[in-house]
Structure 1
């Protein structure tokens, strides 16, 4: 219940930030500059807040922060995300939402400890808070449950997580909590969410600006790009835009470990790091077909390619697909479905 109330406040904060900070289109360059300046100043003093929040979640789970440090980082992170989101420089609100949810659980655990509850239960409540908070903020309880289980790799937490997600989602329905994606996904008549599902293809959901390197790029170039885009696929593309393949983070780390174990050896080029046989989506692939492919694999994303020319169009992420299909199903069923 506490997570549901906090999630409703989080979504309201993002909506207020958008209302007051996202003004005329002609002033977009100034807003982007101001947002970058503010976040840059915050990052000088608190570099941990830069990024998608995964490092903060890991630090919280590993108990690297004291209670005071955790509260300060929460305040700074929430402020930075609200400014960036409100100005239109949206770098993503999903993983910051997971972090804020974990902080809700952390605060709840801290309160219980102050009331005399024994034992080290910080990590458990952080996981439950993360799932419950995201379930309400995204209006996607099943997605929240699966994501947190995959993140924590703790199968024994499935029952507490299930109870937390169901309770929070039910409370969110009672207090009329809205999805944080509602405004950004369905704010205009042209939004794909407002179209019939049969008319939407993966090209409409793909992210078209992606990290890419040439086939002959060095291992250091790939490593540098990996550091700037943690967790993302690195796409190998020729100068004419022809798609060659994708480098997956796990494959890259495995190659680096092998090189360290064997000692000096000729470092591979980007083209030699491509995963053979990795699935590729055509730009005209229907959403339901893409969903089936995601269900058959555990990959977080698929390249989207123009099959007729072989050129790279972008990348489709599993979470983006799930969120859009969830919103479409909710719209078609009158708002009663949560994926």
Structure 2
């Protein structure tokens, strides 16, 4: 009776497997795309469910349906004051007492830290605590965005996927970055901007090895949201048109203004954070104090509550008087600073868009008051102002340009938006080199150098426990390995684990279909030198040199010394990801040295 691997059906499957292997060498890359797509779908599902949870929580707390501003507008004064205080107290209590429940593992609680500085994993318990705290902050009127917990939740699901796979640190970081990009894309219905947000701000590279999976994840996340919820643009605006080339001068002036305003907005946020820290209050009292500031402001202006989405929509529809908007802008910045500085968990992405829309709208009315001619419409200036302030605060102008376009689907303003965003970015750099997210990436600066040193060696990137057999392994065992797995080489080691060589997938083709060879041929008979080996302590530059002369996807990693034991394997994709991460790090070190000099 023929063995299972030598039946005609299995034989045909094996030949197909050989043809696919010959055509597609980069099997690992397709695997990454599959998992990136799965993470994108999970991110989209989690975003839809989280939005419904927020709506339910808001109804439970207030007994009303609608946006946060609509809910607060209908509340009596005492509830406007009390709701943010109680919400801050509960949200802070969740952080305070949840901190005793958090995981003691070394995994991070911030997705940016986990992608750039950490091991590519998030602490499950700490993430749940942060998401739950953010739920109370957002639904009780905190002046903070809901995109923060949405991204945290999507990143947590991606981290859980990464934990189930035996991936290297670089691969876990990439899949976690895919989760973050899925969360941003789902929150703003902007797949390209979601991928660019993570690529520009978090990863610091738009190399295709990283950007491809990010796009894959973002698109599927967005499509999931559109299928389950809504496919309309985030902001519905009247059509705008560029009437003449002279209007570009106004957009350039607005870009300059946005570049001047953004650093002061960042300093207000950071200054508030330092001020609240000096109080030395526990988290629940600190967040309650921040809620008190929001509640007092909401007594007269309920529009300061929430992330500012409804107000931005009104600005784009030109429904606000400039005098009222000036006051609201100052109060909104104060409320956002209070929520952010007190430690409320949430995002500042949407509040930043509020500041940009207000600055653009007020700039248009100021120019009109001066009697200047050929002005763009105030709504158009508000729309481009959103992108300009976003570019100046994040130092990611490309992401800001695409974000505004995807949120509005208005192509007419792409040209002025591009000019203004670039000018705002470079203007802001002259006053504030750090972005709105810089603080998150500095929290683990001490550990960063150690992790970078580890990644400078092959041992920090290798994948352990590669497929291996003994020299006396029979042919049927070898064939079974190749049928069930996607690798191109099966490593051969002796009883002491010393690397002897490899059996290639292509090398066994001539023996297929001969059942009598089942136990006659062993691994020793098929042994070849295989791919070039690389030592555990070798540098990444040495590994890159090895791959430059080898077309395969993986290299066997062996121990140092005269008796090379097989320790693992190094993937080309992991190497390229690690090298891509080192480029922005080197640029940052160069910038620091330039400032010191």
Of residues 323, 326, 333 in structure 2, which corresponds to 1:68? 323
Of residues 163, 179, 184 in structure 1, which corresponds to 2:440? 184
1:331 matched to 2:569? The reply is no
1:147 matched to 2:432? The reply is no
1:21 matched to 2:257? The reply is no
TM-superposed deviation, 1:44: 3.0
TM-superposed deviation, 1:193: 12
Number of aligned residue pairs: 212
1:39/1:187 CA distance change after superposition, 3 Å: same
Corresponding position of 1:49? 304
1:8/1:153 CA distance change after superposition, 3 Å: same
- Return the TM-score normalized by structure 1: 0.56
1:87/1:194 CA distance change after superposition, 3 Å: farther
> More displaced, 140-149 or 39-48?
39-48
CA distance in 1, matches of 2:582, 2:390: 19
1:145/1:29 CA distance change after superposition, 3 Å: same
Of residues 265, 273, 276 in structure 2, which corresponds to 1:10? 265
- Give structure 1 stretches of 5+ with no counterpart: 200-325
TM-superposed deviation, 1:103: 1.3
1:115 matched to 2:370? The reply is yes
Q: Kindly provide the CA deviation profile for residues 155-212 of structure 1, in whole angstroms up to 9, marking residues without a partner as x.
A: 111000000011111222333442011113423348899966x89xxxxxxxxxxxxx
TM-superposed deviation, 1:84: 0.9
Q: Kindly provide the CA deviation profile for residues 48-80 of structure 1, in whole angstroms up to 9, marking residues without a partner as x.
A: 221111111101011121111111211111000
CA distance in 1, matches of 2:385, 2:358: 7
- Aligned with 2:413: secondary structure? helix
- Aligned with 2:262: secondary structure? helix
1:55/1:25 CA distance change after superposition, 3 Å: same
Corresponding position of 2:336? 81
1:168/1:18 CA distance change after superposition, 3 Å: same
CA distance in 1, matches of 2:362, 2:414: 21
CA distance in 1, matches of 2:258, 2:265: 10
CA distance in 2, matches of 1:105, 1:145: 15
Aligned pairs for 1:144-183 within 5 A: 144-183=400-439
Aligned pairs for 1:242-253 within 5 A: none
CA distance in 1, matches of 2:307, 2:376: 27
- Aligned with 1:22: secondary structure? helix
1:100/1:33 CA distance change after superposition, 3 Å: same
> More displaced, 22-31 or 167-176?
22-31
CA distance in 1, matches of 2:581, 2:403: 18
Verify the 8 A CA contact 1:101 1:129 in the aligned structure 2.
yes
Of residues 290, 307, 319 in structure 2, which corresponds to 1:35? 290
- Aligned with 1:51: secondary structure? coil
- Give structure 2 stretches of 5+ with no counterpart: 1-255, 461-579, 592-597
1:83/1:111 CA distance change after superposition, 3 Å: same
Q: Kindly provide the CA deviation profile for residues 289-329 of structure 1, in whole angstroms up to 9, marking residues without a partner as x.
A: xxxxxxxxxxxxxxxxxxxxxxxxxxxxxxxxxxxxx9997
- Return the TM-score normalized by structure 2: 0.33
- Aligned with 1:68: secondary structure? helix
1:115/1:64 CA distance change after superposition, 3 Å: same
- Aligned with 1:143: secondary structure? helix
- Aligned with 2:440: secondary structure? helix
1:61/1:116 CA distance change after superposition, 3 Å: same
CA distance in 1, matches of 2:589, 2:421: 18
TM-superposed deviation, 1:135: 0.4
1:126 matched to 2:382? The reply is yes
- Aligned with 1:154: secondary structure? coil
CA distance in 2, matches of 1:31, 1:68: 33
Verify the 8 A CA contact 1:21 1:86 in the aligned structure 2.
yes
Point out the structure with the larger helix share: 2
